[in-house]
Amino acid sequence: MKVNGTSGVGAAGGPGKARGGDGQGFRLPSVSAPAGPAQVARAAGLSGMMSVDAILALQDVGGPMERRRRAVRRAGRLLDVLDGVKLGLLSGEVSAGDLASLKTAIRDQRDATDDTQLEGVLDEIETRAAVELAKLECAKLLR
């Protein structure tokens, strides 16, 4: 039964003709068909964007464990520099270059931390390095 507006009820029609442009019905494009220039250009444009996304994703892969490994490596480098300065102080042959590398290592470590206790330790080391540098400059002036 078919309702046509407000005029009443009429008979329903049967199945209609299939609508299609070429009469072949629904078809999926062939996978082995060569891609046209528009498809190739569109795919090439996406590949550049996908590579940037992949790089960003790889940077974020380093979770807490990777951040910890990097922090341990930075701390190890700082301790190596401190050890070199200590040996130089004990032998009386500490150089301004050693102290400059210590200041650089402290600056690098300070940029990567948000721990207040570690900041305090870095401040103390930096102060000690400044004192030793001042002593070296005084010794040069007295010579």
pLDDT digit string (tens) for the chain, length 143 residues: 566 666 555 555 555 555 555 556 666 666 555 555 555 555 555 544 557 666 666 665 567 788 788 878 888 888 999 999 899 989 988 888 888 888 888 888 877 777 888 888 888 998 988 898 888 888 888 87
3: helix, coil or strand?
A: strand
Residue pair 36/70 in contact by the 8 Å Cβ criterion: no
Helices (H), the chain: 37-61, 64-91, 96-111, 116-142
- Sorted by where each begins, the domain ranges of the chain are 65-142
Residue pair 88/98 in contact by the 8 Å Cβ criterion: yes
The residue type found at 62 is G
Residue pair 129/136 in contact by the 8 Å Cβ criterion: no
Provide the pLDDT for residue 91: 92
Provide the pLDDT for residue 83: 92
The single residue listed with the structure tokens 């329903």 is 12
